[in-house]
């Protein structure tokens, strides 16, 4: 299995009555896959999984698994329990254990145990500004050597020394996917295999082209769009823009998130028009 190119961590659209708008979700999946995405992520942070009921989460995964199977594309499922992931999925996106700060050896032991019992490969989500657990380039290479670990969603908040070290000598067969939308262009220039990018709900074809063939000018324009889309907690602005486009029935998010402001929505629409 090769993980490369663009993966869109899909929002969970809501209908006016508060239920999951499954028809809109299916259309979004077809839209981004038809525009060149390699696959989609179900139940990533952008999908607000902590606000969904178990039944809602299961329905979302089943729907997206069906779309990806029909179109021959890859599904990645965000979860802390890979046993819940369908066998047809390409991988489980699994967060470095947050809050407890187990240390680097603890992280390696945790993923070694998780991968050993997972029915699908793991993509490790490394986002230290949320988990409070830093990992060195040396530790990331140790994780890459764990059987059953296929890749890394790298979201350290920028380009640090460990990122440069890791990308200067990436482990063979280990997919390093950028997870900070604003800096995806320099990550690709340094050698990342692709990205898991919420911004790619919009201008999907441009993001897909960027992940296939890095272009500095396109990268700069998309970075401005990403900055606008992340001006408020994700996915509020993304949802507001999709609603303005008529692609989802409401811009609603669930608490603790709040809807995007009109100002942020207008700025993101302006940036989008500059990109297209």
Segment-wise mean pLDDT, segments of 10 residues, the chain, 276 residues? 94 98 98 98 97 97 98 97 93 96 98 97 97 98 98 97 96 97 97 98 98 91 97 98 98 98 98 92
Q: How many CB atoms lie within 10 A of CB 22?
A: 16
Q: Which pairs with CB-CB distance under 8 Å and at least 24 residues apart come from 19-24?
A: 20/52, 20/56, 20/59, 20/60, 21/248, 21/249, 21/250, 22/59, 22/63, 24/247, 24/248, 24/249
Give the pLDDT of residue 80.
93
Closest CA to 137 of 175, 104, 114: 104
Q: Which residues contact 171 (CB under 8 A, 6 or more apart)?
A: 141, 144, 145
Give the pLDDT of residue 107.
98
- The Cα 40–Cα 54 span in angstroms is 20
Which option is the CATH number for 5-213: 3.30.450.20, 3.20.20.70, 3.30.230.10, 3.90.1010.10? 3.20.20.70
89 close to 114: Cβ distance less than 8 angstroms: no
- The Cα 132–Cα 146 span in angstroms is 22
10 close to 28: Cβ distance less than 8 angstroms: yes
Kindly report the pTM of this predicted structure: 0.96
* Domain range annotation of the chain: 5-213
- The Cα 195–Cα 209 span in angstroms is 12
Enter the tokens of residue 200.
């790619």
Q: How many CB atoms lie within 10 A of CB 117?
A: 10
Give the pLDDT of residue 215.
87
Catalytic positions, please?
125, 153
- The Cα 268–Cα 276 span in angstroms is 12
CA atoms within 13 A on the CB side of 148: 17
- The Cα 51–Cα 186 span in angstroms is 33
**Can you count the helices (H) and strands (E) in the chain?**
11, 8
Give the pLDDT of residue 260.
98
Q: How many residues does the chain have?
A: 276
């Amino acid at each position: 299995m090769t993980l490369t190119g663009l993966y869109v961590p899909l929002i969970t659209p809501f209908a006016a009555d508060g239920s999951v708008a499954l028809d809109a979700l299916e259309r979004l999946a077809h839209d981004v896959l038809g525009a060149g995405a390699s696959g989609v992520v179900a139940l990533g942070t952008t999908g607000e999984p902590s606000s969904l009921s178990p039944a809602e989460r299961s329905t979302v995964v089943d729907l997206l698994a069906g779309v990806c199977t029909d179109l021959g594309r890859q599904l990645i499922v965000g979860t802390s329990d890979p046993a819940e992931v369908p066998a047809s999925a390409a991988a489980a996106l699994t967060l470095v254990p947050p809050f407890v700060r187990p240390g680097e050896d603890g992280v390696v032991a945790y993923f070694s145990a998780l991968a050993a019992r997972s029915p699908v490969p793991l993509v490790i989500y490394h986002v230290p500004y949320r988990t409070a657990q830093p990992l060195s380039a040396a530790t990331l290479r140790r994780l890459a050597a764990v059987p059953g670990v296929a890749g890394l969603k790298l979201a350290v908040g920028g380009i640090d020394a460990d990122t440069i070290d890791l990308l200067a000598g990436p482990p063979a067969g280990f997919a390093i996917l950028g997870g900070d939308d604003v800096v995806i262009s320099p990550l690709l220039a340094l050698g990342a295999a692709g990205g898991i990018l919420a911004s790619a709900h919009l201008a999907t074809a441009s993001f897909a082209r960027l992940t296939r063939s890095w272009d500095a000018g396109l990268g700069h324009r998309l970075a401005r769009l990403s900055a606008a889309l992340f001006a408020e907690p994700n996915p509020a602005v993304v949802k507001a823009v999709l609603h303005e486009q008529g692609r989802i029935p409401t811009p609603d998010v669930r608490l603790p998130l709040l809807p995007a402001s009109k100002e942020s929505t207008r700025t993101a629409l302006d940036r989008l028009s500059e990109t297209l």
